[in-house]
A and B are shown apart, each in its own frame.
Chain A
Amino acid sequence: MKRAQLKKMTVDELVERFAEVGVAQGDAIDNNENAKFNRLYEQMEQVDHELRARGREARLALMRLYDYPNMQVKLAAATYTLGVDPVSARQMIQAIADSKWAPQALEAGMRIINLDNGTFVPD
């Protein structure tokens, strides 16, 4: 999807798009399609970029995906909201780590470690 199309979307539609990309990312990880995952990663970055352009409230809209019934979407939503609601986002990441649900729990666990040691500084 082109950036121009993202610009025409409402915040709700962007959140929906974010979830759609997240689901596809999860499938790509399961199927070891790493190049595909990286393309999807860029698509998620573009959605995030558009949400950032609309301000804090728009970014916070991703928090509704904490309820989404897909672990990759939950993890991505929590990661991308770390910069605007670090407490809630970290709690969600910790919850995913505690769930032990592979592979997202392991990535969530590493995210917590990398947040704590400063390797990952959310913005």
Chain B
Amino acid sequence: MPNDPLAGRGLRAPERSRMLVATEDGIFLRPGAALAERRGNGFVAAEPREINSRIGALFGPGAIYLPVASAVEIACVHLRAGNRDAAQRALDRLALPPVSPNGARLLRAIAKRQGLATPVFAETTKQAGTIWTEDDVESFAALDDRLASRTRVLEKIFNPGLGWDPAKHPRWPEGQSDGGEFRPADGSGSGSSIRPAAAILPQPLLGKPPKIPKRTPPSEIAKNNLRKELARWLANAALLLLDPPAAAVISALHAAVEGTAWAAHYVKAYLDPPKTLAELQAAVQNPRAGYEIHHIVEQTPARIADFSESQIEDPSNLALVPTLKHWELTGWFMRRNKDYGNVSPRSYLVGRDWETRTRIGLDGLRAVGVLKK
């Protein structure tokens, strides 16, 4: 099984030595690489390429799909506001995987070169990609010599005295199919809370970008299908750290969508970030292309249940939502859902009061990413 970003998610912060710390001077990756640094009154994040390079070296190539750059940005916001604890919490939520074998060798080599204590951290025994030679490790470790003074200052922060206890986190023996991976402490055959799992966002999930036809699609159905496909692809593409050629494809697709009268408004609206309820309700006064007015308590079921017209059409029950999201919301109401006792939200609401309908209606808006959580 490859080394992957979600491995080790079960490690709670107090049980592991931190790999990322927020200080008043910036955000640092063990042993001392700056992922963001103070510049005057602000904090500037390192280039994504630099961040990926550092993360990949320590945690394996799959780890670059973790939203590290986003977490660093969020932590910077907290640091700018003077809230170091919140910044650290943002970094801890990232739940980095155990260190890869290459990364472990690198950390030990750096510690040896710089006279630091032997570092303690969670480690896997399987390496995805190339296994470095001893010369590789030494030459990479030498690159960090220039950081020695900072590394010494950070050493205590990275080792708060609650080190990794291998006895609490036993592994399957070498030679087994799962050799080297974590196993449950109780020795049972499955159910480990630190079970390795696949990269959460491998690039192949995205698939090829949709093609925009030279001619306007002939029917509304064809247009709608392509609008949805374009919108969803662009939304998901924005989540992946893509190499420059792929990023260029995304930019070109954005530009092509902008040039279509039949898709631009819909796609642009779909990519809106979530808003507050007050914003969605106020926007009803300003309807525009790409958006539709949505009834938070669904109107047809509400009429069937004899709720009054004034209640159904009250401004508090209306929200302006992107058209494509509106369709997704309709689907959400219709699909069976574990959260509502294995029935669809629409079925769940039969016979329920207005307040419950409003609450579930707001759940729906959150479930399609229109309303802020």
Q: Per a CB cutoff under 8 Å, which of B93, B204, B367 touches A106?
A: B367
Residue of B nearest to A119 (CB): B339
Interface residues of A in 97-116 (CB under 8 A from B): 98-103, 106-107, 109-111, 113-114
Q: Specify which of A70, A102, A120 lies most central, judged by the most chain B CB atoms within 10 Å of its CB.
A: A102
Residue of A nearest to B4 (CB): A67
- The answer to whether A27 has its CB under 8 Å from any CB of chain B is no
* Interface residues of A, count at CB 8 A: 45
Q: How far is the CA of A80 from the CA of B370 in the complex (A)?
A: 27
Q: Is the CB of A60 within 8 A of B202?
A: no
B residues within 8 A CB of A91?
6, 9-10, 95, 193
Q: Is the CB of B190 within 8 A of A57?
A: yes
Interface residues of B in 187-228 (CB under 8 A from A): 189-198, 200-202, 204-205, 228
Q: Per a CB cutoff under 8 Å, which of B236, B339, B366 touches A102?
A: B236
CB of B152, distance to nearest CB on chain A (Å):
33
Interface residues of B in 315-362 (CB under 8 A from A): 327-328, 331, 334-336, 338-340, 342, 344
Q: Is the CB of A95 within 8 A of B331?
A: no
B residues within 8 A CB of A29?
331, 335
CB of A23, distance to nearest CB on chain B (Å):
12
Q: Per a CB cutoff under 8 Å, which of A38, A101, A106, A120 touches B368?
A: A106
Q: Is the CB of B336 within 8 A of A99?
A: no
Q: Is the CB of B336 within 8 A of A67?
A: no
* Interface residues of B, count at CB 8 A: 45
A residues within 8 A CB of B196?
67
Given contacts A101-B239, A110-B339, A110-B363, contact A66 B198 (CB under 8 A): yes
Residue of B nearest to A78 (CB): B197
Given contacts A88-B191, A91-B10, contact A69 B204 (CB under 8 A): yes
B residues within 8 A CB of A101?
200-201, 205, 236, 239
- The answer to whether B129 has its CB under 8 Å from any CB of chain A is no
A residues within 8 A CB of B367?
106-107, 109-110
Interface residues of B in 62-84 (CB under 8 A from A): 67
- The answer to whether B171 has its CB under 8 Å from any CB of chain A is no
Known: A34-B334, A71-B205. 16 other contacts (CB 8 A): A30-B232, A38-B334, A41-B335, A66-B6, A67-B196, A74-B198, A87-B193, A91-B193, A99-B67, A103-B232, A106-B368, A106-B369, A110-B339, A113-B366, A120-B338, A122-B338
**Which B residues form the contact surface with A (CB < 8 A)?**
1, 4, 6, 9-10, 67, 93, 95, 189-198, 200-202, 204-205, 228, 232, 235-236, 239, 327-328, 331, 334-336, 338-340, 342, 344, 363, 366-369, 373
28 A-B contacts (beta carbon < 8 Å): A32-B331, A37-B335, A37-B336, A41-B335, A41-B336, A63-B190, A63-B191, A67-B1, A67-B198, A69-B202, A70-B205, A74-B200, A87-B193, A88-B191, A88-B193, A88-B195, A91-B95, A95-B200, A96-B200, A98-B200, A100-B67, A100-B239, A102-B236, A109-B367, A109-B373, A113-B373, A119-B339, A120-B339
**Nearest 8 CB-CB pairs, A to B?**
A66-B197, A67-B198, A34-B334, A114-B339, A41-B336, A120-B339, A87-B193, A91-B9
